[in-house]
């Protein structure tokens, strides 16, 4: 049975008729063409489909589109600046060589957005735990953690300078 869902996706109002069993992953990737949202395990274990819903990182493969009613959804496509420039998090991933095949990267970046958004300073062990729901077969996680440590530190320093 089709139901109408209203949500914001990457800042734009969206209204869609969706099957009540349709995952947010399928809606974003197949209906909306947002290919940063990857279809990996389809059971919420790999993190490749991670997006933000109202600022919280979720596995979109196990999140029904209907649950996004009235909410704000963000994918990597929504991170670009007004002139198409990369976000500081994306730049950190590139500069720290945290990207190899790229399949897991969008999900990790979206988790990094949530982590950075807390404004807290995390050490490497805490960051490892925070990204433990992501599988990456290429990088060994070291460069990913380097990028995350770097951006968390940069944002922490900026936020504490402006708050002083």
Q: In the chain, which residues have pLDDT < 70? A: 162-164
Give the whole-angstrom CA distance, residue 99 versus residue 123.
21
- Provide the 8-state DSSP code for 86: P
Helix/strand/coil for 78: helix
| pTM for the full predicted model | 0.93
Which sequence spans correspond to the domains of the chain? 2-75, 88-162
**Could you confirm whether domain 88-162 is CATH 3.40.50.720?**
no
Q: What is the 3-state secondary structure (H, E, C) of 19-30?
A: ECCCEHHHHHHH
Question: What is the fold, at CATH topology level, of the domain defined by 2-75?
Answer: Ubiquitin-like (UB roll) (3.10.20)
* Per-residue exposure over 53-69, b if at least 16 CB sit within 10 Å of its own CB, e if not: beeebbbbbebbbbebe
79-100 per-position pLDDT tens digit? 999 999 999 999 999 999 999 8
Question: Per-residue pLDDT tens for 41-59?
Answer: 999 999 999 999 999 999 9
């Amino acid at each position: 049975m089709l139901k109408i869902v209203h949500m914001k996706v990457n800042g734009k109002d969206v209204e869609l008729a969706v099957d009540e069993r349709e995952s947010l992953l399928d809606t974003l990737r197949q209906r909306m063409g947002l290919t940063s949202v990857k279809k990996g395990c389809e059971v919420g274990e790999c993190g490749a489909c991670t997006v933000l819903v109202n600022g919280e990182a979720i596995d979109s493969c196990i999140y029904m589109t209907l649950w996004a009613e009235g909410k704000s959804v963000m994918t990597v496509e929504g991170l670009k600046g007004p002139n198409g420039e990369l976000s500081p998090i994306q730049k950190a991933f590139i500069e720290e060589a945290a990207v190899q095949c790229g399949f897991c990267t969008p999900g990790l970046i979206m988790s990094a957005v949530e982590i950075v958004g807390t404004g807290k300073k995390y050490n490497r062990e805490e960051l490892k735990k925070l990204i433990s729901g992501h599988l990456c077969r290429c990088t060994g996680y070291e460069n990913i953690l380097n990028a995350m440590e770097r951006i968390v530190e940069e944002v922490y320093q900026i936020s504490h300078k402006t708050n002083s």
